[in-house]
Amino acid sequence: MKTVSQLLDMKQQKEKISMVTAYDFPSAKQVEQANIDMILVGDSLGMTVLGYESTVQVTLDDMIHHGRAVRRGAPNTFVVVDMPIGAVGIDQAQDLNNALTLYQQTNANAIKAEGAHIADFIVAATRIGIPVVAHLGLTPQSVGVMGYKLQGSTKAAAQQLIKDARNVEQAGAIALVLEAIPSDLAQTISEQLTIPVIGIGAGKATDGQVLVYHDMLNYGVKHQAKFVKQFADFSVGIKGLQQYNEEVKSGVFPSETHTYKKKIMNEVEAHD
């Protein structure tokens, strides 16, 4: 399993960091088998596995439930678990309690929190020993305020994002996720920070990349963002289900090969 200091070394050696989301035991197992450096148990699970329209309905209990399953599936991979909306930014004592509960109960390696307003929380969480990954740019929990669109695309917004990135690094964040921002801005931030910057829709100059498992494998996704590349097609599963349905109805399945051959009814009275 990668450590925080190995992730820092990777940045310094210009070795790219790979990260992908996982939400359950089998997906975590696959990601670990693929030797990916980091897993994010993203609150995108609200859409990908719980069928919500956004991440807004996801709760701390949801994150704990899925985080624990991922840890069991990927015991040797660096796992980051998302703080859902409202778990941070309301009351400092409550924020820390939420962070501690999530960190302890999932046995994750770090937690992630969205937004520029979390610098004080990062300081406090780091002080009690919880590693925090920050998330800036497009922050899906604020979709009601900012929409799903490119961030940092005006001079003022870009300058603000650079400041925010420096702030979260100074507060003690161990890494930064930057989502949906111009690639030249992401490059500047990656060069200015000493912590690893992981991009999603932020171009190739960041220290690493993260994608959502269900997007990159085409697993029941309605809408693909511009920055998603499809690396495999899990929609073939539907063909298998259709064939199963046809074979059950036509009696083709189960065949002799899928049937136990032992005879017992010669020993049993039919009306026993």
Q: Which is nearer to ligand KIV, 148 or 244 (CB)?
A: 148
Report whether 78 contacts 2 (CB < 8 A): yes
Binding region for ligand KIV (CB under 6 A) out of 6-14, 35-43, 63-71, 102-110: 35-43
HSE, side-chain direction, 13 A CA sphere, residue 36? 23
Phi/psi of residue 112, nearest 5 degrees:
-125, 140
DSSP helix, strand, coil percent of the chain (3-state; round to 5): 45, 15, 40
Least spacing, CB of residue 270 vs ligand KIV, in Å:
57
Among 212, 216, 217, 221, binds ligand KIV (CB under 6 A): 212
Question: Binding segment for ligand KIV among 41-49, 85-93, 164-172, 237-245 (CB under 6 A)?
Answer: 41-49
**By the 8 A CB rule, do 137 and 152 touch?**
yes
Q: Show contacts with ligand KIV in window 70-89 (CB under 6 A).
A: 82
Euclidean distance between CA atoms 40 and 142, whole angstroms: 19
Q: Within the chain, where are the H helices?
A: 4-12, 25-33, 45-48, 60-73, 92-106, 119-127, 143-146, 155-171, 183-192, 213-216, 236-250
* Catalytic (active site) residue 269: no
Q: For the chain, how far is it from start to end, CA to CA, in angstroms?
A: 58
Rounded-to-integer distance, Cα 60 and Cα 238, Å: 32
Closest separation in Å from C-beta 244 to ligand KIV: 31
Q: Give whichever of 82 and 164 is closer to ligand KIV, judged by the CB atom.
A: 82
Any contact of residue 206 with ligand KIV (CB under 6 A)? no
Residues 170-189 that bind ligand KIV (CB under 6 A): 177, 179
Residue 210 sits in the site that holds ligand KIV (CB under 6 A): yes
Residue of 32, 169, 179, 267 marked active site: 179
Rounded to the nearest whole angstrom, what is the least distance from the CB of residue 91 to ligand KIV in the complex?
A: 23
**Residues within the interface to ligand KIV (CB under 6 A):** 21, 40, 42-44, 82, 135, 177, 179, 200, 210, 212
